[in-house]
């Protein structure tokens, strides 16, 4: 069965006919060609597929696109404004918060959710806030520093 959906993705309203079983991650990557949300585990464990759904960070591999009908979705492609990096993206750049970059879109969007709720997190709170996102490269230290950089920049 196909269903008509209308989703605002990164500020643009998209209207499509989709199969009910199409996952939001596949919709974003294959229908809209937004490949920033990565598929790591496809089993709700790694957070590489994280996007913001009405402002809250969620695993897009564990959600059907039809569930997001009428919602606002932000992917990593939608974070920079007019070519200017978001402070969290800048933090990852400045603090070397990435190596291969596979986890980075998810990390950044989880950090976005965290800083929205808690603009001045402690190191512990950052680590807990990113608990749903796995990184196989960095050992997390520079990711924490990147989020601290962003928190400071965003509150100044």
Partner 1 sequence: MVTSSFDYHAPTSVAEAAELLTRFGDSAKLLAGGHSLVPMMKSRLAEPKVLIDLGRIESMAYIREADGGLAIGAMTKYVDLETSDLVKSKAPALAQAAGMIADPLVRNMGTIGGSLAHADPAADLPAVMLALGARLITSSTGGHRTIEADDFFVDLLTTGLRPDEILSEIAIPALLPRTGTAYAKFGNKASHFAIVGVAASVTLSPDGTCEAARVGVTGAGPKATRATETEALLNGHRLLHGDQIDEDVIEAAAARAGAGVDLQEDIHASAEYRAHLTTVFAKRVIREAVSRAK
Q: Using CB under 6 A, list all residues that contact ligand FAD.
A: 44-45
Q: Which among ligand FES, ligand FAD, partner 1, none contacts residue 150 (Cβ within 5 to 8 A by kind)?
A: none
Q: Which range binds partner 1 by CB under 8 A, 15-23, 84-92, 94-102, 135-143?
A: 15-23
CA 99, CA 12: separation in Å to the nearest integer? 31
Binding span for ligand FES by CB under 6 A among 8-16, 65-73, 99-107, 117-125? 99-107
120 near partner 1 (CB under 8 A): no
Nearer to partner 1, 9 or 68 (CB): 68
Give yes or no for a contact between 71 and 130, defined as CB atoms under 8 angstroms apart.
no
Give the sign of the dihedral formed by CA 47, CA 130, CA 88, CA 63.
positive
- Does residue number 101 form part of the binding site for ligand FES (CB under 6 A)? yes
Whether the Cβ atoms of residue 10 and residue 28 lie closer than 8 Å to each other: no
Q: Taking the CA of residue 64 as centre, how many other CA atoms within 13 Å lie in the half-sphere pointing to its CB?
A: 11
The region of 5-13, 96-104, 111-119, 121-129 touching ligand FES under the rule CB under 6 A is 96-104
| Cβ 61 to partner 1 shortest distance, Å | 8
Q: Which is nearer to ligand FES, 45 or 155 (CB)?
A: 45
What is the separation of C-alpha 64 from the centre of its chain, rounded to a whole number of angstroms? 16
Instruction: Order across the sheet with 56-59: list the strands.
Output: 12-19, 2-9, 72-74, 50-53, 56-59
CB hemisphere CA count around 118 (13 angstroms):
15
**Options 45, 54, 69, 120; binder of ligand FES; rule CB under 6 A:** 45
Q: Give me the residues that bind ligand FES (CB under 6 A), please.
A: 39-42, 44-49, 59, 61, 98-103, 135-138
């Amino acid at each position: 069965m196909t269903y008509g959906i209308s989703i605002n993705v990164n500020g643009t309203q998209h209207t499509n006919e989709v199969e009910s079983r199409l996952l939001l991650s596949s919709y974003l990557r294959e229908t809209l060609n937004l490949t920033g949300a990565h598929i790591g585990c496809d089993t709700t464990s790694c957070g590489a597929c994280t996007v913001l759904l009405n402002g809250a960070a969620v695993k897009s591999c564990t959600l059907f696109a039809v569930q997001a009908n009428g919602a606002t979705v932000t992917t990593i492609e939608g974070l920079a404004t007019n070519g200017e990096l978001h402070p969290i993206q800048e933090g990852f750049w400045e603090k070397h918060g990435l190596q291969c970059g596979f986890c980075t879109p998810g990390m950044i969007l989880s950090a976005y959710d965290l800083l929205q709720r808690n603009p001045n997190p402690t190191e512990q709170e950052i680590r807990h806030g990113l608990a749903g996102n796995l990184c196989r490269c960095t050992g997390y230290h520079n990711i924490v520093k990147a989020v601290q950089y962003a928190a400071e920049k965003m509150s100044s």
